[in-house]
Structure 1
Amino acid sequence: MKKNEEVTIQSETIFNGRVISLELHDVKLPNGRESKREIIKHPGAVAIIPFKEDGKIVMVEQYRKAMERNLLEIPAGKLEKGEAPEVTARRELEEETGYGCEKLKHIISFYTSPGFADELVHVYEATGLYEIEDHLELDEDEFVELVEVTLEEAEEYITTQRIFDAKTAFAVQYARLKENK
């Protein structure tokens, strides 16, 4: 048994959607009592930090219904069943930006909200960008606008909350650390 482990007694899937499912778990706590946990199951995702030769970062601006506003983000998308994260990263980069890349380097993987979700995001750095003329199209319910930003602009956008999501804020901080090495 793991330290402070919560053992699932039973679980029930309450909702099964296109992107997520919601499970309700009855758990036995380390002190012997029982409780309930609501858990979001997610297939995982990738996020790509695309660097142009001039150092600018290619981002996408899109409306996020959950926030009821536009956000400026690095390209990202969910893993398809059986798809390797690197394959997803290359596909999402092409779909969302129209770019391919010569080099794709895995930076880190992290859980987005481990208190209630199992979503694991794999972050990649893309360099050697080149335009793909006949590139993959966005999903039919996806609408994005490309925005190229300098590192300084991205840092300012974090303070003004134009960039307001964890994966993109992480990407900007990664870029700053990389530049300072």
Structure 2
Amino acid sequence: MMTHLQDEPFEPEILSSEVAFHGVVWDVRDDRVRYGDGEIRRQYVAHTGAVAIVALDERERVLLIQQYRHPIRHRDWELPAGLLDVPGEPPEVAARRELGEEADVTAEHWEHLVSVWTTPGGNDEMIHVYLATGLSDLDAHEREDEEADIRVEWVPLSEAADAVLAGRMHNGILSIGVLAAERRLRERPREAD
């Protein structure tokens, strides 16, 4: 039985790497890579990275937002989140900014929960998920496009976890964040012992 599982870096020789498509937000890269005795070609979204926030109030309710996402043709439930699109900005600083911009909330306490690659077969996005507590309201931000009609709900963390596990909410980052936060809170009494 393995007691220490960990991803391992691997750097094959990149034979060529080109921008196949230059997008407004992301580019698509086309790479040729020496792999084993041959060569493989992969196209993937070159992503800036992102942050997401599990904002919990004093009653252990999580702040969820619902907004339209065109690729899936759904208004899905999500955590407040945003891109790492300010050069050099540390992820926690971006998380603080995004919580304010998307949910008009600020937090006194910040704790890193987990960092994950969202879809390593199709993009290089790493998203950093934070637990935010000690919340207070901010003045409302101006929003446009899909953010103009964001719906905000405060949901008991356990109910959000139940909805994920029952298949009623499908957003991957919400799933990871809610389940990681629930686990972190469950472990806290043991840490105090």
Fold equivalence (TM over 0.5): yes
Equivalent position SS for 1:92: helix
- Check if 1:11 corresponds to 2:4: no
- What RMSD in Å do the two structures reach over aligned CA positions? 1.9
Q: How does 1:13-162 map to 2 (within 5 A)?
A: 13-31=19-37, 33-82=38-87, 83-132=89-138, 134-142=139-147, 143-162=149-168
Query: What displacement does 1:86 show?
Result: 1.4
Does residue 173 (structure 1) correspond to residue 179 (structure 2)? The answer is yes
Secondary structure class of the residue paired with 1:137: coil
User: SS state of the match for residue 49, structure 1?
Assistant: strand
CA distance in structure 1 between the aligned counterparts of 2:67 and 2:56, rounded to whole angstroms? 19
Q: Distance in 2 between matches of 1:75 and 1:154?
A: 14
Cα distance in 2 for partners of 1:162, 1:20 equals: 29
Distance 1:11 1:156, change over 3 A: same
| 8 Å Cα contact 2:131-2:181 kept in structure 1 | no
Measured in 2, the distance between the counterparts of 1:80 and 1:35 equals 30
d(CA) in 2 for partners of 1:94, 1:160? 30
Percentage identity across aligned positions? 34
Q: Distance in 1 between matches of 2:181 and 2:113?
A: 11
Residue 150 to residue 4, structure 1, CA distance change in 2 (3 Å): closer
Looking at secondary structure, tell me which structure has more helix per residue: 2
Q: Structure 2: how far apart are the matches of 1:40 and 1:107?
A: 25
Per-residue deviation, 1:7: 1.8
- Report the Cα distance in structure 2 between the residues aligned to 1:135 and 1:101, rounded to whole angstroms: 15
When structure 1 is superposed on structure 2, of 63-72 and 159-168 the one drifting more is 159-168
Q: Spell out, residue by residue over 1:50-79, the C-alpha distance to the aligned partner (whole angstroms, 9 max, x if none).
A: 001111000101111111111111111101
State the one-letter code of the partner of 1:168: L
User: TM-score under structure 2 normalisation?
Assistant: 0.84
> SS state of the match for residue 58, structure 2?
coil
The total of aligned residue pairs comes to: 178
Could you list the runs of 5+ residues in structure 2 that have no partner in the other structure?
A: 1-7, 188-193
Confirm or deny: 8 A CA contact 2:19 2:28 kept in the other structure.
Answer: yes
Q: Secondary structure at the match of 1:157?
A: helix
Unpaired runs of at least 5, structure 1: none
CA positional deviation for 1:136: 3.4
Shift of 1:109: 1.4
| 1:66 partner SS | helix
